[in-house]
Amino acid sequence: MIDQSSPVRLIAPKRFGDARGWFTEVYSEPTFAKLGIDCTFVQDNHSLSVPAYTLRGLHFQTPPHGQDKLVRCVRGRIFDVAVDIRKDSPTFGKWVGAELSADNGHQLFIPIGFAHGFVTLETDCEVTYKCSDVYAPAHDGGIRWDSVGIDWPMPAGTSPELSDKDRIQPGLAEFDSPFAYDGRPLVPLA
């Protein structure tokens, strides 16, 4: 059962398998509406990260172009994270994370007001995600990956592969959030 009071949701779509393989429905507007997720997705993104321990994030878009995201890993394994960055939230700066993989088929729904990032746990990982708004470069934002206290699952002494942009993001302490708290604190993923 999915905790419908939680703003961030771990979703495990059912797979129907036989000798040929399996089939799953990864998104259905009526099914998601029953879960309390009623955004409209307008853009799909797909990334390939070749080296293991490539870290992408922590990213978001500011209002009025905030993005709800539905993330899944279609090849390999990632550790996917959402960080509460809503001003006045009792869980501001807290994070939740889950392993998403091609094998488990799990997805993470990350609403507006949360920073998103992931680290690849093996080589050649592909990640797809739906977004509720298009990319708006003037509203692109981020916080530094190591400023929140996330327990990234990397071997001791490993430095992640980062983009130049992610190396210079501000820390959470320097971030002045434009996101409003909606009354739903972040809760652990079920």
Domain residues of the chain, as ranges? 9-149+156-174
Distance of alpha carbon 46 from alpha carbon 129, whole angstroms: 7
pLDDT at residue 87, rounded to an integer: 96
Distance of alpha carbon 126 from alpha carbon 150, whole angstroms: 22
Nearest Cα neighbor of 6 from 63, 84, 79 is 84
pLDDT at residue 1, rounded to an integer: 40
Distances (CA, A) of 89 to 101, 113, 151: 30, 10, 21
Q: Cα torsion at 152, 176, 173, 134 (round to 10°)?
A: 20
Distance of alpha carbon 150 from alpha carbon 50, whole angstroms: 22
- Global pTM value: 0.94
pLDDT at residue 6, rounded to an integer: 81
Kindly list the averaged pLDDT for each block of 10 residues, start to end, along the chain of length 190.
73 94 94 92 98 98 98 98 97 98 97 98 98 97 97 96 97 96 92
> Catalytic residue numbers?
59, 129
Q: What is the pLDDT of residues 121-130, one digit of tens each?
A: 999 999 999 9
Distance of alpha carbon 148 from alpha carbon 7, whole angstroms: 19
Distance of alpha carbon 19 from alpha carbon 22, whole angstroms: 8
Report the top-level CATH class of 9-149+156-174. Answer: mainly beta
